[in-house]
């Protein structure tokens, strides 16, 4: 670890305390990335198991979503299958701008399957749509920022590295280029952090509402609802881990600003 601290001190020209904090945060980010991966695998296994079990209502994911939307007075909200590109980045989601629910049709497809998973996630996205259309502020903000939420965290490191490389290889010193790239990367990280933060309360409310709607309409039996709850809970744990990861990235961003400021001041 001491060697890593020394390299950070040499690279940023900063103090031992800031360099140590930066290394520790970097290690925690790596650990949380592994935790997130493990929880994503857990989600996949729960998802896959429930997607092999038939649903008593004999409805597809699209049919179930359409059914509860109509009963909720949301006939104008459309339900469609996702294209390959959309599915790769967003999966099952509600587009608040086009008033459209997109359901997986390729990877782990649920749009036309008559399974517990397809019904659970179809109705869950209908519940998200209901929250957004009924004026839930957190749901509206989260879904409006979904694009940034997906790409913000991915672009954070590349944007910061580009600024650093330009200064090191071209300018031969720390300039405003690094600070601008750091600010842009930080803004993306903060936006991703906000979306991830909102994921937890919004998804929890949508999960509860979805289970309630399925119980009231008889779309699922008690046993099927228990299986659905397991799938929903797996997603929530994954969102919590992602929130911690995004929080650490924001801390990393703040430390980088502090180190660059300290270096430029010296």
Question: Strand 78-81 and strand 93-95: pairing?
Answer: unpaired
Q: Answer yes or no: is pLDDT of 193 > 80.
A: no
Strands 93-95 vs 100-103: parallel, antiparallel or unpaired? antiparallel
pLDDT digits (tens, 9 = 90+) for 3-17: 777 776 776 677 788
CA 29 → CA 105, 146, 197, 219, 245, distances in Å?
Answer: 33, 22, 17, 41, 6
Q: Using pLDDT thresholds of 50, 70 and 90, give the confidence band for residue 226.
A: very high
Residue 85 near residue 151, CB atoms below 8 Å: no
Closest among 52, 11, 24 to 174, alpha carbons compared: 11
Most confident of 16-30, 59-73, 93-107: 59-73
pTM of the full structure:
0.78
Number of separate domains in the chain:
1
The residue range of the domain holding 52 is 2-265
Tell me the three state secondary structure of residue 54.
Answer: strand
At 215, the pLDDT band (50, 70, 90 cuts) reads very high
For position 171, what pLDDT does the model report?
Answer: 60
The pLDDT value given to residue 3: 76
Band of the pLDDT at 175, cuts 50, 70, 90? low
For the chain, give the mean pLDDT. 85
């Amino acid at each position: 670890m001491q060697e890593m601290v020394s390299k950070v001190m040499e690279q940023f020209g900063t103090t031992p305390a800031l360099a140590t904090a930066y290394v520790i945060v970097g290690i925690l980010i790596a650990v949380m990335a592994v935790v997130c991966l493990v929880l994503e695998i857990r989600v996949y296994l729960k998802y896959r198991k429930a997607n092999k079990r038939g649903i008593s209502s004999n409805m597809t994911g699209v049919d179930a979503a359409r059914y509860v939307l109509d009963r909720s007075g949301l006939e104008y909200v459309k339900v469609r299958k996702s294209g390959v590109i959309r599915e790769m980045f967003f999966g099952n989601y509600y587009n608040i701008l086009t008033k459209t629910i997109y359901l997986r049709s390729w990877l782990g497809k649920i749009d036309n399957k008559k399974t517990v998973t397809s019904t659970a996630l179809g109705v869950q996205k209908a519940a998200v749509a209901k929250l957004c259309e009924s004026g839930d502020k957190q749901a509206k903000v989260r879904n409006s920022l979904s694009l940034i939420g997906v790409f913000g965290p991915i672009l954070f490191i590349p944007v910061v590295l580009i600024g650093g490389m330009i200064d090191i290889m071209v300018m031969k010193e720390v300039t405003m280029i690094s600070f601008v790239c750091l600010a842009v990367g930080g803004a993306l990280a903060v936006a991703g952090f906000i979306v991830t933060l909102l994921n937890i309360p919004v998804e929890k409310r949508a999960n509860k509402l979805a289970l309630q709607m399925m119980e009231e309409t008889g779309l699922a039996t008690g046993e099927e609802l228990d299986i659905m709850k397991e799938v929903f809970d797996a997603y929530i744990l994954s969102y919590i881990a992602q929130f911690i990861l995004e929080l650490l990235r924001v801390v990393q961003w703040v430390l980088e600003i502090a180190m660059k400021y300290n270096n430029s001041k010296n």
